[in-house]
């Protein structure tokens, strides 16, 4: 069976890139699969996560300007070239299955240039706020929503990450397959330090400013604790977050940038904190569980509640309630016994997301 995974790039750190690399590496062990990775703008850079050399990589070199809309003339004029190159590459490979990982302009034309290929579209983000704001949206946005629904039904299957998202889709061929986690090799002795860790791309949806404000409320009570935020992305937002830390004079909180050793950092830390506005199925929470790291998270739509067992391996807090988050975080910092109990539960509860269990669902879909 020939399988093509299709995305924009795999050189930037992110959840989609990590999940994609994991899937490619897992399926590379199957001798009956011929794996291809097709990108639009990888720019000949090294992979951000290791990918098996069995995978055949093809970059179309479309190179959209990501600082502008796809409808901007700079990008829109590249669409004919994109269509031509992608169709030619699909004709060359002649895959049985095409899996579209990211959400970009090509979402709209892929079903029409992939005749004879089973097409699977993955969605990695929540539609909660998009649907919530739709009644007040512009006529254009409402029209675009109708077009999206029409296009989605042109794909052989739509794959979403949790059952809570099903109500936001009208596809007749909807599949729920969560992200998986491979078992993290635990150190013989874990000496956790008094660090609270958070990670993700620097983007407004992650609301790292909330974490800074949370810590500002309780930092003076825990002078021997630190907060480390890992991730890259929006440079201007990073500067704003740094200014917020300095303006509010928040001690012991640091923007640490990107890291290739997140699991190691998690095994060293004592608490993982997530303050996102919305999450569909965040890999960082799976990684936290696999590292036996207690979690405190906003109960934002819709991912955390599908991963965290509240009171067992983590604590769910009312979304955007900075004060409540700070109170629960303070309780967790004070209670080492609870953290140890949650750590043991995390290692046990993560088994339901074991790579073999989740990947079997993908194998079943491929074999349909």
Q: What pLDDT score was predicted for residue 15?
A: 87
Question: What kind of fold does domain 195-353 have according to CATH?
Answer: Rossmann fold (3.40.50)
Domain boundaries, the chain: 2-181+354-366, 195-353
Nearest to 199, CA basis, from 268, 120, 308, 285: 285
Domains 2-181+354-366 and 195-353 share a fold: yes
Contacts of 69 (CB under 8 A, 6+ apart): 75
The Cα–Cα gap between 177 and 368 comes to 15
Answer whether 7's CB lies under 8 Å from 36's CB.
no
Chain position carrying tokens 């013989």: 188
What CATH number has the domain spanning 2-181+354-366? 3.40.50.2000
Q: What pLDDT score was predicted for residue 182?
A: 80
Q: What pLDDT score was predicted for residue 2?
A: 97
For residue 114, how many other CB atoms are within 10 A of its CB?
A: 22
Cα within 13 Å of Cα(331), Cβ side: 13
Q: What pLDDT score was predicted for residue 68?
A: 86
Enumerate residue ranges in the chain where pLDDT < 70. 183-189
Q: What pLDDT score was predicted for residue 185?
A: 63
Helix axes 235-247, 208-218, angle to 10 degrees: 10
Work out the percent of the chain whose per-residue pLDDT is above 70: 98
φ/ψ (deg, to 5) at 16: -60, -45
Torsion of CA 320, 324, 328, 331, to 10 degrees: 150
Q: What pLDDT score was predicted for residue 14?
A: 86
Report the 3 state secondary structure along the chain: CEEEEEECCCCCCCHHHHHHHHHHHHHCCCCCCEEEEEECCCCCCCCCCCCCCCCEEEECCCCCCCCCCCCCHHHHCCHHHHHHHHHHHHHHHCCCEEEECCCCHHHHCHHHCCCCCEEEEECCCCCHHHHHHHHHCCHHHHHHHHHHHHHHCCCCEEEECCHHHHHHCCCCCEEECCCCECCCCCCCCCCCCCEEEEECCECHHHCHHHHHHHHHHHHHHCCCCEEEEECCECHHHHHHHHHHHHHCCCCCEEEEECCCCHHHHHHHCCEEEECCCCECCCHHHHHHHHCCCCEEEECCCECHHHHCCECCCEEEECCCCHHHHHHHHHHHHHCHHHHHHHHHHHHHHHHHHEHHHHHHHHHHHHCC
Q: What pLDDT score was predicted for residue 191?
A: 82
């Amino acid at each position: 069976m020939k399988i093509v995974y299709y995305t924009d790039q795999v050189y930037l750190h992110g959840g989609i890139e990590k999940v994609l690399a994991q899937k490619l590496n897992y399926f590379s062990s199957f001798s009956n699969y011929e794996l291809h990775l097709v990108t639009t703008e990888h720019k000949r850079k090294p992979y951000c996560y290791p990918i098996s050399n069995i995978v055949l990589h093809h970059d179309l070199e479309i190179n959209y300007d990501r600082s502008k809309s796809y409808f901007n003339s700079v990008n829109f004029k590249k669409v004919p070239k994109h269509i031509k190159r992608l169709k030619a590459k699909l004709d060359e490979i002649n895959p049985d299955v095409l899996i579209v990982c990211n959400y970009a302009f090509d979402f709209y034309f892929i079903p029409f240039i992939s005749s004879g290929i089973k097409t699977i579209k993955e969605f990695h983000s929540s539609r909660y706020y998009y649907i919530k704001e739709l009644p007040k949206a512009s006529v254009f946005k409402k029209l675009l929503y109708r077009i999206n629904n029409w296009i989605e039904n042109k794909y052989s299957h739509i794959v979403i990450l949790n059952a809570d998202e099903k109500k936001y889709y009208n596809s007749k061929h909807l599949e729920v397959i969560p992200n998986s986690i491979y078992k993290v090799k635990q150190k013989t002795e874990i000496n956790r330090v008094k660090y609270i860790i958070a990670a993700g791309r620097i983007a407004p949806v992650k609301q790292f400013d909330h974490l800074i404000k949370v810590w500002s409320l309780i930092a003076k009570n825990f002078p021997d604790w630190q907060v480390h935020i890992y991730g890259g992305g929006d440079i201007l937002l990073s500067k704003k977050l740094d200014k917020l830390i300095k303006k509010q004079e928040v001690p012991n909180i640091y923007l640490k940038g990107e890291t290739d050793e997140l699991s190691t950092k998690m095994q060293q830390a004592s608490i993982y904190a997530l303050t996102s506005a919305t999450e569909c199925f965040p890999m960082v929470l799976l990684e936290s569980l696999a590292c036996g790291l207690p979690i405190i998270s906003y109960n934002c739509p819709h991912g955390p509640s599908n991963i965290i067992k509240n009171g067992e391996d983590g604590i769910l807090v009312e979304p955007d309630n900075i004060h409540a988050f700070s109170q629960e975080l303070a309780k967790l910092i004070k209670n080492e016994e609870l953290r140890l109990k949650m750590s043991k539960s995390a290692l046990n509860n993560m088994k339901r997301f074991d790579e073999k269990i989740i990947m079997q669902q993908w194998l079943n879909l491929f074999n349909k």
